[in-house]
Amino acid sequence: MRFRSDRVNRKKGIKTILTRAKLVSLIRRRPLPPGDMNIRLDEIEAADRLSIIRKSTEDGPIFKGHAWDAFWIYVVGLPRCREIMRQHEADLQPVTIDTTPLFAEGLLRQMEGEVHRKYRSQLGLALKSTDFSGAFVALAHDTRKLLAGLVTQFGRTPIPFEALYLCFSNLVFDGLTRFVFGIDPQSEHGRKLCAAYQELGGNGLVWAPGLRQKKALSSIAEILRNASVEESNQCKNSLMRKMQAQGPIDDVMMGNLIYMVEMGRYDTTAFLRWLCWFAAMNSDWTDRIADENDGGPVAEAFVMEALRLEQSERLVRRVKRDFVVDGYLFPKGAMLRFCIWESHKLPDAHDRPFDFDPGRFLEDMPGPELYSPFGTDKHQCPFAAFSVNFGATFVKAMANDYQVSSHGSHTSVRGLYHWEPDKSFSPILSSRISGISP
Ligand code: HEM
């Protein structure tokens, strides 16, 4: 995992940042957070996922360490994370993939101040006025078709990682193409779009985009322009259509829309694997989902509980200016990790925090001090409700037709960007309709 500002941090040198931090700490008489700089936080976490929670009980909820060749401060506990974000918004710089070599201003996630407000409100307005219901019906249909295809291919034998990943990735890409651009994935424009996106990433998000991504971006923009000229190729209820209704889409917003699909496809594909993993281990809940009507609360609760336990892991910022929290100096140049995964596992946030229990979202919706898988500040995910709906549509379609069991390991491993189910995890789909054997 590499962060842009982490590169800044490494370039300047962890030593330079630390030396300055110690000096400021002496002058201002404010200690740096506790923690041993000889301990590699990234390594101890990869070896034992609970190590960060343990450290937060030993050292306190704010501690420092060495990770990814940079100086990091970790914060555990949502109320504290939210408070720091709120009070020190101007002192923190969001950290994400740097797309400014491709288009001005970069991604919404890295924008600040007025520029962020402008593009965020354009996106918010378009999202509010888009009716995604037709596209969700298409997603449910595609999910059932895709799973039926897997069952035809594998019968009652475990579905291996590669086949599952490819199918989920196609499902998500087709879905996002429809939702964001309003383009039918089976149309000529849809097929062209798919090929052009292969050039943009293909095997995963490219963290340092270069010439190849620049070319791919302009091909995608060209395909989208052509599709929007031919009215019949674009459904009226797409995000892009609603955006065009506000006025011409500039290069910055176009780049952002293109990257929403690019980043959204990897993250959502990974999330569908988690949903499948939870389904395999919690048949009592998938039976309940199968029994409820479309749009019932259990499928959504299942997705929200999956997000409490997995996928949403951290928020990352870089300290732009020195500031003090709980008596500790947060020095300029330090990387800051708000530990969301760990915060969701604290016993004072959730009863039996490691148990999978969607029931906690059926009784009462926990407030943002207890549950924040989509972020905590002005950069919160604008697609939060959309993503829950996406996951619930998928789970419902799967649970309606199949009971899910699995073969292989039930452990999680750290992938390139996120923790994920071990590659050996392979679901087995058994048709619910008696007499129909796959
Ligand atoms: C399970 C699915 C998802 C999760 C858990 C998730 C989580 C998040 C989180 C935690 C943030 C805040 C990052 C920060 O504060 O640094 C965020 C921001 C964002 N997400 Fe998502 N997201 C998901 C799906 C999506 C999808 C499908 C899209 C688009 C198609 C999307 C688009 C965005 C955008 C554009 C932002 C930046 C907003 C801003 O900076 O104003 N997300 N997401």
pTM score: 0.94
Q: Which pair of tokens denotes residue 341? A: 């995964």
DSSP states along 241-308: HHHHHTS---HHHHHHHHHHHHHHHHHHHHHHHHHHHHHHH-HHHHHHHHHSPTT-HHHHHHHHHHHH
Q: Measuring CA to CA, which residue among 66, 91, 64 is closest to residue 10?
A: 66
Give the number of other CB atoms < 10 A from CB of residue 241. Answer: 17
Model confidence at 203, in pLDDT bands (50, 70, 90)? confident
- Is the minimum distance from the CB of 381 to ligand 1 under 6 angstroms? yes
Q: Which pair of tokens denotes residue 166? A: 């490819």
Phi, psi of 289, rounded to the nearest 5 degrees: -65, -40
Which residue reads 């888009």 in tokens?
130
Q: Which has more pLDDT, 371 or 416?
A: 371
- Is the minimum distance from the CB of 65 to ligand 1 under 6 angstroms? no
CATH of the domain at 170: 1.10.630.10
Rounded to the nearest angstrom, the distance between the alpha carbon of 433 and the centre of ligand 1 is 37
Model confidence at 4, in pLDDT bands (50, 70, 90)? very low
Q: For atom 3 of ligand 1, which residue has the closest CA?
A: 387
Q: Identify the pLDDT of residue 230.
A: 67
Mean pLDDT (the chain, rounded): 93
- Is the minimum distance from the CB of 106 to ligand 1 under 6 angstroms? no
Pairing of strands 314-319, 419-421: unpaired
390 pLDDT exceeds 90?
yes
Rounded to the nearest angstrom, the distance between the alpha carbon of 379 and the centre of ligand 1 is 8
21 pLDDT exceeds 60?
yes
Single-letter amino acid code for the residue at 300: E
Rounded to the nearest angstrom, the distance between the alpha carbon of 270 and the centre of ligand 1 is 14
**SS3 (DSSP) at 420:** strand
Rounded to the nearest angstrom, the distance between the alpha carbon of 229 and the centre of ligand 1 is 30
Model confidence at 7, in pLDDT bands (50, 70, 90)? low
Alpha carbons 397 and 392: distance in angstroms, whole number = 8
Q: For atom 7 of ligand 1, which residue has the closest CA?
A: 374
Alpha carbons 120 and 382: distance in angstroms, whole number = 8
Rounded to the nearest angstrom, the distance between the alpha carbon of 320 and the centre of ligand 1 is 23
Q: Identify the pLDDT of residue 2.
A: 45
Q: Identify the pLDDT of residue 435.
A: 43
Q: At what angle do helices 251-281 and 188-200 cross, to 10 degrees?
A: 90
Q: At what angle do helices 188-200 and 211-229 cross, to 10 degrees?
A: 160
pLDDT (mean) for 81-102 = 96
Q: Identify the pLDDT of residue 10.
A: 55
Q: Identify the pLDDT of residue 236.
A: 75
- Is the minimum distance from the CB of 115 to ligand 1 under 6 angstroms? no
72 within a domain of the structure (yes/no): yes
- Is the minimum distance from the CB of 393 to ligand 1 under 6 angstroms? no
DSSP states along 75-100: EESHHHHHHHHHHTGGGEEE-----T
Q: Identify the pLDDT of residue 202.
A: 73
Q: Measuring CA to CA, which residue among 281, 438, 368, 429 is closest to residue 78?
A: 368
- Is the minimum distance from the CB of 314 to ligand 1 under 6 angstroms? no
Rounded to the nearest angstrom, the distance between the alpha carbon of 223 and the centre of ligand 1 is 25
410 within a domain of the structure (yes/no): yes
Alpha carbons 416 and 244: distance in angstroms, whole number = 35
436 within a domain of the structure (yes/no): no
- Is the minimum distance from the CB of 234 to ligand 1 under 6 angstroms? no
- Is the minimum distance from the CB of 387 to ligand 1 under 6 angstroms? yes
How far from each other are the two terminal CA atoms of the chain, in whole angstroms? 40
Q: What are the Cα distances from residue 311, in Å, to 135, 304, 390? A: 24, 11, 15
% of the chain with per-residue pLDDT over 70: 95
- Is the minimum distance from the CB of 315 to ligand 1 under 6 angstroms? yes
Domains of the chain: total = 1
437 within a domain of the structure (yes/no): no
Rounded to the nearest angstrom, the distance between the alpha carbon of 431 and the centre of ligand 1 is 34
Q: Which pair of tokens denotes residue 276? A: 């499948």
Say if CB 14 and CB 71 are below 8 A apart.
yes
- Is the minimum distance from the CB of 94 to ligand 1 under 6 angstroms? yes
Question: How does pLDDT run across 296-349, given as a tens digit for each residue?
Answer: 899 999 999 999 999 999 999 999 999 999 999 999 999 999 999 999 999 999
Say if CB 361 and CB 305 are below 8 A apart.
yes
235 within a domain of the structure (yes/no): yes
- Is the minimum distance from the CB of 259 to ligand 1 under 6 angstroms? no
Question: How does pLDDT run across 347-356, given as a tens digit for each residue?
Answer: 999 999 999 9
- Is the minimum distance from the CB of 282 to ligand 1 under 6 angstroms? no
Number of H helices, E strands in the chain: 17, 11
Q: Identify the pLDDT of residue 29.
A: 97
Alpha helices (runs of H) in 130-250, residue ranges in sequence order: 133-154, 161-176, 188-200, 211-229, 239-245
67 within a domain of the structure (yes/no): yes
438 within a domain of the structure (yes/no): no
13 pLDDT exceeds 60?
yes
- Its domain, for residue 77, covers 4-431
Question: How does pLDDT run across 221-256, given as a tens digit for each residue?
Answer: 999 998 876 655 566 789 999 999 999 999 999 999
DSSP states along 308-326: HHTT--EEEEEE-S-EEET
273 within a domain of the structure (yes/no): yes
pLDDT (mean) for 130-138 = 92
